[in-house]
Amino acid sequence: MLPFLQQVVHHLDVGPYQQQMRVGALAFGTFPRMLFRLNAFTDKSRLVSAISKIRYIGGDSNINTALAFAKDQMLGRLVKGVRGGATPVIVLLTDGKSENRQATVRQAEAARQCGIEIFAVGVGEADQDELSCLVSQPIEDHLFYANDFRDFLNSISTTLSSKLSNC
């Protein structure tokens, strides 16, 4: 999954200026964990290096708490690094299904109501039906699925990067 993230970032215009993108990351299992905030990296090479150091978190797949954390702690109006006027975006990467589908759908709806655009990338055992309930509309522009991580690098990363650049 990390090479996929690095490939997506490679295609983005990341930087400190108003018209450039900022990238933050969190990992989740049983609990979400902040990896880095939106204002942590304004240099693409340092961001790619930070991504290479991300480690897998085991535990349950509490997507609902990850969405709530991203909405409140990473993309909230008063959070450092959030650019005024920019469309806030969540890209959910998962290879499973949530522990609590109803709570997850509620959190996704709350994020969308706050103006956050949600994309999802599902791999392998990811529940495509559930992910389609989480993403922004139109679903076909916001939901990506691959049988395994190797499918990501070429086909999905370029498409996702292009869509993110238009946000």
Q: Which domains does the chain have, with CATH numbers?
A: 2-165 (3.40.50.410)
Contact 161, 12 (CB under 8 A): yes
Element (H, E) at 129: helix 128-134
* Encoded tokens for 37: 């905030």
pLDDT per residue, tens digit, the chain (167 aa), is 788 889 899 999 999 998 899 999 999 999 999 999 999 999 999 999 999 999 888 788 999 999 999 999 999 865 666 777 789 999 999 988 999 999 999 999 999 999 999 999 998 889 999 999 999 999 999 999 988 777 666 678 788 888 888 77
Residue type, 133: C
For the chain, how many residues are written?
167
